[in-house]
Amino acid sequence: MAKVLVVTSGKGGVGKTTTTAAIGAALAQNGKKVAVVDFDVGLRNLDLVLGAERRVVFDLINVVQGVARLPQALIRDKRLENLSLLPASQTRDKDALTEEGVGRVIGEMRGNFDYILCDSPAGIERGAMLAMRFADEAIIVTNPEVSSVRDSDRIIGMLDSKTVKAEKGEQVAKHILLTRYDPARAARGEMLGIEDILEILATPLLGIIPESKDVLRASNVGSPVTLNSPASAPARAYSDATKRLIGETVPMLVPSEPKGLMKLFGRRAA
Amino acid sequence: MSMFRLFAGRPAAPATAPIARERLQILLAHERGLRDHKPDLLMLLREEILAAVSRHVALDPDKVIVRMERGKNVSTLEVDVELPNGLEPALAVAS
């Protein structure tokens, strides 16, 4: 029975799709059967970041509406046989997504995968609500920047009230993933520090992804950063975060570019 | 603080992260209050406190401040009522 994770943030441009691709690939690299689902109807991009844009035939809305069956719409990754993509529709109206339909599709996928990663659109509208609706856990992607932290706080409130789990009186397990972090700037007091953000959001940390050129390089060529440059700092950080997600204890480090690992502090993961 | 500053030859930019942290703490305390309670809970409390005190003491409505601080484990309600001087006997009588 799969675990359903939503990758969400409220704010746009913080790295949800990059994170979905990187963690999805890293889970598959760890032998898990993974489906990544793009909920950004009208602005789909997960296919592009995964290099599968020319292979999209059917999409989530086709499956929700019964036009296509799930196995027809799922695109299996060419590099990782354990990784499948369910793309969003680029042309359809986003109102075509219904809660009942999304619930049915996710329910069908639960039997076939270990992890289902739902890549949420930005904002707090219908698409974002549906992406988190059936989640067991949430990865809240946050940048060390005031507007991103504020939006994360808002999303945390929604995860605690608007999800199926919350309505049953249970908790969606929440994890902060700090992305685009620059340890040098934080040390100079130019950027919110890790402790500041965790204290404000009162939510456990899953990982710290350093700002890096390798992230753009990977998306340029349509390959998750964990596959494209596995030795790079962001790839190692995503790989560590993924291990924490599947229950391994990995020290919380900020991988740095040239000189290997810089130990920050011994905080344990959620 | 940083090595760069020693050699930069120009004054270091002031650290702005503490300002960001403080602004966020204040803002989110307010927004969480709106989210977790009825939107006008603070307004309601303020009005009722103002009415209760005004029955006994004449006071300036602008000087009644009700604030909610939401913390991880504990939240606090701060009520700040400023009374004009010379009203202590009235208060004593009222009680």
Interface pTM, i.e. ipTM: 0.76
Say whether pLDDT at B40 is over 80. Answer: no
Which among A150, A154, A189 has the least Cβ separation from residue B17?
A189
CB distance B21–A154 less than 8 Å?
no
Cα of A234 to nearest chain B Cα, Å = 23
Average pLDDT over chain B, rounded to an integer: 75
Tell me the pLDDT band of B63, cut-offs 50, 70 and 90: confident
Residues in B 36-75 with any Cβ partner in A closer than 8 A: 36, 72
The pLDDT value given to residue B73: 83
Check residue B5 and give its pLDDT: 52
Banded pLDDT at A266 (limits 50, 70, 90): very low
- What global pTM score does this model have? 0.79
Among A71, A118, A76, CA closest to A97: A118
Q: Which residue has the higher pLDDT, A153 or B51?
A: A153
Q: Which of A153, A155, A201 to mutate to test the interface with B (most CBs of B within 10 A)?
A: A153
Give the mean model confidence (pLDDT) for residues A195-207.
95
User: From residue A213, how far is each of A48, A210, A235, A257 by CA, in Å?
Assistant: 18, 10, 11, 10
Total residues belonging to chain A: 270
Kindly report the average pLDDT of chain A as a whole number. Answer: 92
Distance in angstroms (rounded) separating the CA atoms of residues A76 and A39: 18
pLDDT per position as a tens digit, A71-103: 999 999 999 999 999 999 987 777 789 999 999
Question: B24–A200: do the CB atoms touch at under 8 Å?
Answer: yes
Q: Does the distance separating the beta carbons of B1 and A189 come in below 8 Å? A: yes
Rounded to a whole number of angstroms, the distance from the CA of A196 to the nearest CA of chain B is 7
> Any idea which of A83-92, A130-139, B30-39 has the lowest mean pLDDT?
B30-39
Q: What is the mean pLDDT of residues A243-251?
A: 95
Model pLDDT, residue B59: 82
**Contact call for B17 and A190, based on CB within 8 A:** yes
Contact A28, A47 (CB under 8 A): no
B8 shares contact with chain A (CB less than 8 Å): no
Which of A20-24, B29-33, B65-69 has maximum average pLDDT?
A20-24
What confidence tier does B57 reach under pLDDT thresholds 50, 70, 90? confident
- Residue A198 is predicted with a pLDDT of 95
Q: What is the pLDDT of residue A267?
A: 46
